[in-house]
Structure 1
Amino acid sequence: MERYLWGVDLGGTKIEGIVINAKTDEILIRERVPTEASQGYDHILSQIKKLIDGLVEKTGLKPEAIGFSTPGTLDPGLQTMKNCNTTCMNGQPMKKDLVALLGVKIEMANDANCFALAEATMGVVPEKYPDAQVVFGVIMGTGVGGGVVVNGKIIGGKHGIGGEWGHNVLGDDQTPCYCGKKGCNENIFSGPALERFYASVSGEKRGLKEIVERYRANTDEHATATLQRLFKSFGKAIHYIINVLDPDVVVLGGGVSNIEEIYTEGVKEIENFIFNKRKVETVFLKPKLGDSAGVFGAAELVR
């Protein structure tokens, strides 16, 4: 009898569901509905129910369990959501509510953890480094986050914040962060943070893509300063992860990770900090699954 994995990626604008053959990883069906988060938490739940009912109707299958990738974390102690950028979810007993709503076992992990899990088990890591045991997945885009996967399992931690390197305090940047601190990684080398830095030193507002183009053309000293800030801060920030976890592979995701020079100039900066006589053997890879990683990782939660 065939077994199928059901996963849901709960995003800010869309909710995506997938059903995958557990043996072959073949995608049976993939559907999306709008999140419509502005209408509140109960409406999000109703949209999830609408999505699952549609998948059941179209496949003729019923799930035994469903994995969810979420824009925040389920607090292991309180069993309520926290750190969600879809703020109406914060403080809600979402796992309990989904079990009651859907009548099946529910597994949940945040989107960065699901990204890391998907790339570690179904994506670029098994393709290029199948013997890797410890994988750190990085998200560098509008925000900065991460996830830890050891032997194919997410390490969520006591507080459910395993891998959350975006809110480690890196420098003396005084821009307030929504988390309540200043100088977080997210405030220094996320996409918006880099754009803010460029504006502060140049007096002009430009998008990150244009800043990178100007850096490569070597015609804008402020663009050069912005990218050097990225490389140095990335090298310093990721060295803490390497010193503590010593991962076999780091997979970089998010818009900022598309800057090719991170894999050369950024990785080279790690030499200045690593506790290994300046020798960096960690492998840095681009993701294979792209924006599909969340829903694949969600399905992998119930394998």
Structure 2
Amino acid sequence: MTRYFIGIDVGGTTSTVAIGDAEQRILLVSDQFETNSALGPAPLIEAVIEAVLGGVENLGGRPGQIEMATIATPGPATLDGVLLKTPNLKAEYWDRFNIRQALQEGFVARGIEIPVRYIGDGQAAALGEYSIRSGHLQYDEVQRELATDEKLRSLFMVIVGTGLGGGEVRDGQVVRGMEGRAGHAGHLLLPEFAFRYEHDRKLQVGNAYSTVESAVSLTGLTHQLEYRLTLDEWSNHPFHQQPGTVRDKAKRLREMATEGDALAQQLFDDQARALGIALLDINYLGDYDQIVIGGGVCDLAPEVRERYRLHAEASYRAHALDGFRNLDRFEFSACGDAAPVIGALAHSYS
């Protein structure tokens, strides 16, 4: 009888489920489904459980065959899954809420007594990427186009999105930290020269300015774009004639960069250079086998993505000690948006 292992990735508005078997083969990665966290914990937990049970049923299984589940969410959170003012989840519902315990109790209420584990989504993304690249999990949809490396032992992954998250795998194990907070790469501080303009440094993220996230994120791009559109250099830019907020326009920068727009290219070039400096700092501490870039930049057009990678690597090497300049290359995520849910599934096997 097949035993099923479950991974769940919860975001602010949508979630994803992955299901694997006892041979560590990924059988299903669901489409994103709505779990609007703004409505509070109860409907979210209910929607997640329904998705899990529906996925198992579609595979021909029954609830009693579920062995283990892991839930991943944006951090910060404790090791046990108590959320701590997570930016993507409304504090009035979620601050100090133990989402791991609530999910486990939700399964019990359905007569399904299984252990539920917790992992931060940045840590989960790194573990998911590592598990696929090293062959610890089998997922034909990705691995048919990826040469697995059974000798891979360490990896750091950054996830560039609305903010910037990160996660580490060391000696084949995800690093969670003393209290579950490891991997907050977005809150590292950058030097002044990582920013083109003084204005770009004045975006506060958490309790600090000049952070990696203030340079490398959709939030950072929005802040920078708003200022650049006030400069004479860009006074005739098409954005001035287009409707929508600055954030709406920032979301179009990938498309504009593909079309060769000079402002979009400048913004992504600056972001890549800042990221290269951040990844150098990270590698000074970790000395990793592989460094992976995930998140929205993976969706850039191939030629724009290659330009981004080369700028990031050039910035890394320009500031690196000689012993760290032998970096082969940065890799873009093989798992894409599925990396966190794959990592949550991988954590269920540990």
TM-score in same-fold range (> 0.5): yes
Distance 1:125 1:153 in 2: 12
- Alpha-carbon distance, 1:171 to partner: 4.2
Structure 1 position 256 matched with structure 2 position 297:
yes
Deviates more, 1:168-177 or 1:24-33: 24-33
Change (3 A) 1:278 1:150: closer
Distance 2:221 2:14 in 1: 27
Change (3 A) 1:238 1:105: same
Structure-2 residue corresponding to 1:247: 288
Change (3 A) 1:195 1:5: same
- Alpha-carbon distance, 1:174 to partner: 1.4
Structure-2 residue corresponding to 1:152: 172
Structure 1 position 187 matched with structure 2 position 214:
yes
8 A contact 2:81–2:119 mirrored in 1: no
Structure-2 residue corresponding to 1:5: 5
Q: Which runs of 5+ in 1 are unaligned?
A: none
Give the partner amino acid of 2:347: L
Structure-1 residue corresponding to 2:103: 98
**TM-score of the aligned structures, taking structure 2 as reference length:** 0.76
Structure-1 residue corresponding to 2:48: 48
8 A contact 2:272–2:308 mirrored in 1: yes
Q: What SS does the corresponding residue of 1:8 show, helix, strand or coil?
A: strand
Deviates more, 1:90-99 or 1:29-38: 29-38
Deviation by residue 1:232-257 (Cα, 9 ceiling, x = unmatched): 21121111111000111111111124
Change (3 A) 1:292 1:161: same
Distance 1:226 1:33 in 2: 32
Structure-2 residue corresponding to 1:208: 253
Structural mapping, 1:50-129, within 5 Å: 50-58=50-58, 59-62=61-64, 63-76=66-79, 80-84=82-86, 85-87=88-90, 88-102=93-107, 103-122=113-132, 124-126=133-135, 127-129=147-149
Structure-1 residue corresponding to 2:273: 232
Structure 1 position 292 matched with structure 2 position 297:
no
**TM-score of the aligned structures, taking structure 1 as reference length:** 0.87
Give the partner amino acid of 1:99: Q
Structure 1 position 175 matched with structure 2 position 203:
yes
Distance 2:324 2:73 in 1: 37
Structure-1 residue corresponding to 2:223: 196
* Match 2:315 to one of 269, 279, 290: 269
Deviates more, 1:246-255 or 1:183-192: 183-192
* Count of matched residue positions in the alignment of Structure 1 and Structure 2: 296
Structure-1 residue corresponding to 2:235: none
Deviates more, 1:127-136 or 1:262-271: 127-136
- Alpha-carbon distance, 1:149 to partner: 0.8
Change (3 A) 1:125 1:273: farther
Change (3 A) 1:278 1:43: closer
Taking only aligned residues, the RMSD between alpha carbons, in angstroms, comes to: 2.5
Change (3 A) 1:186 1:57: same
8 A contact 1:274–1:280 mirrored in 2: no
Q: Which runs of 5+ in 2 are unaligned?
A: 108-112, 136-146, 193-200, 231-239, 241-245
Distance 1:13 1:165 in 2: 23
Deviates more, 1:19-28 or 1:89-98: 19-28
Deviates more, 1:8-17 or 1:155-164: 8-17
